[in-house]
Amino acid sequence: MSDQLKALVSRPVFVFLTDGRSLVGNFEGYDQQANVILSQTHERIFSSTEPMQSVPIGVYLIRGETIAIIGELDEELDEAADYDNMRVEPLDPIHL
Amino acid sequence: MLVELKNGETFNGHLVNCDNWMNLTLREVIQTSSDGDRFWRLTECYIRGNTIKYLRVPDEIIDMVKEDAAKQRAAGGRNSNRGGAGGNTGGDQRGGHYSQQGGDRGGRGGGRGGRGDYNKSGRGGYNGGDRGGRGGGMRGGRGRGSSQA
C-alpha cells in the first residue's frame, strides 16, 4: 500500500484527514505505515458562508492512520478553481 | 514541535525522545484542550504513538534531514556512517526510509552515534536539535528492503 506513495515523492499533494481537514503540501516522504511528511503545507479551511482560507502550517508529519485520502494535486486545475467564490461545506469527520 | 492527538488535544514542547512506534517524550509542554480554551503546563509528558494524529515540526528540520542524507550518500551509502553522523534522525534509525527525491537508499549503516555527540553538532531528530532525539519516529525497515529501494 505505502509503496504506491513512491510516485508522489516531491510532488504537490492534497491530503484529507479522517477528522475532515484538508491539507495541501509538498510530499517529502513516507514509510511503511503510510506516515507522511509534507512541507510548505497549507490547511484549506472551507466554509459555507466564507471564501476558502488557506493557512500556511509548515512541515507536517501525519500519522498514516489519520489519512483518509491522499493524491497528487493537479496544479493547473487547482489554479483554475475559483476558490474565492466557492462556498463549500467543510467535510465531516469520519468515524471508523 | 506541536503534537496533535486524535482526540484534538495538542501538546507543544521540546522533543526529548521517541521510538519506532512514534511514542514521544516532550519537555516543557503546553497542553491545550481540544476546544482550545483550556491550557496546562507540564514539565514533561509521554505520548503514546498510536494516539497521535500529526506532528507539526519546524521548517528547518526538512533541510537538516536532507543535508544529512546527502552527507550520508557522499560518505558512500551503506556502511559508511558509524559514529557521529548517526543517520538522518539521530542514532537509532535503520535505513533512511523517508525517501527524499526517491533516490535515497538509506542503507544499513544507521549510525551508532551516541546521542551525546550528535547533539553537539546541533542536529537532532525532528526536534530542531535541542536534544537529538532518537530518530524520526517511524519504523525504518532495513534499508534496502524499504519501500523506496
ipTM of the complex: 0.90
- Provide the β-strand partners of residue A12: A26
Q: Which bin fits B33, alpha (ψ -120 to 50), beta or left (φ > 0)?
A: beta
Residue A29 contacts B where some CB pair is shorter than 8 Å: yes
Quick check: A96 pLDDT over 60?
yes
What's the total number of domains in chain A?
A: 1
Residue A96 within any structural domain of the chain: no
In A, minimum Cα distance to B146 occurs at A32
User: Could you give the 3-state DSSP secondary structure of residue B94?
Assistant: coil
A48 found inside a domain = yes
Residue A36 lies in a domain: yes
Residue-by-residue DSSP string for B102-120: TT----S------HHHHHH
Q: What is the mean pLDDT of chain A?
A: 94
Average pLDDT in the A15-38 region?
A: 96
Contacts with A31 from chain B: Cβ below 8 Å: 97-98, 138-141, 146-147
Please check whether residue A71 lies inside any domain of the structure: yes
Tens-digit pLDDT profile for residues B72-105: 988 875 554 444 443 344 334 443 344 444 334 4
CATH of the domain at A31: 2.30.30.100
Vertex B27: Cα angle to B41 and A23 (nearest 5): 85
Residues of A in contact with B101 (CB under 8 A): 9-10
**Cα dihedral B5→B50→A15→A45 (10° resolution):** -10
Give the Cα separation of B6 and B10 in Å (integer). 9
pTM of the model: 0.69
pLDDT band at B109 (very low <50, low <70, confident <90, very high): very low
**Contact by Cβ (8 Å): B1, B13:** yes
A61/B contact by beta carbon, under 8 A: yes
| pLDDT higher at B122 or B7 | B7
Tell me, yes or no, whether A91 lies in a domain. no
| Pairwise CA distance, residues A61 & B110, whole Å | 21
Please give the Cα distance from B92 to B113 (Å, whole number). 8
Chain B residue nearest residue A37, CA to CA: B98
Q: Is residue A93 part of a domain?
A: no
Tell me the per-residue pLDDT of B3-12, one tens digit each, with 9 for 90 and over: 999 999 999 9
What does the pLDDT read at residue A28? 95
Using an 8 Å Cβ cutoff, are B137 and A67 in contact?
no
> For B9-23, b where at least 16 C-beta lie within 10 A, e where not — what string?
bbbbbbbbbbbbebb
pLDDT at B97: 42
Local confidence band at B43 (pLDDT 50, 70, 90 cut-offs)? very high
Range of the domain at A47: 2-85
Confidence at residue B10, expressed as pLDDT on a 0 to 100 scale: 97
Mutation site for A-interface testing, chosen from B4, B54, B99, B146 by largest number of A Cβ within 10 Å = B54
Helices (H), A21-96: 75-80
CA end-to-end span of chain B = 30
* A95 domain residue, yes or no: no
**Mean per-residue pLDDT, B11-36:** 96
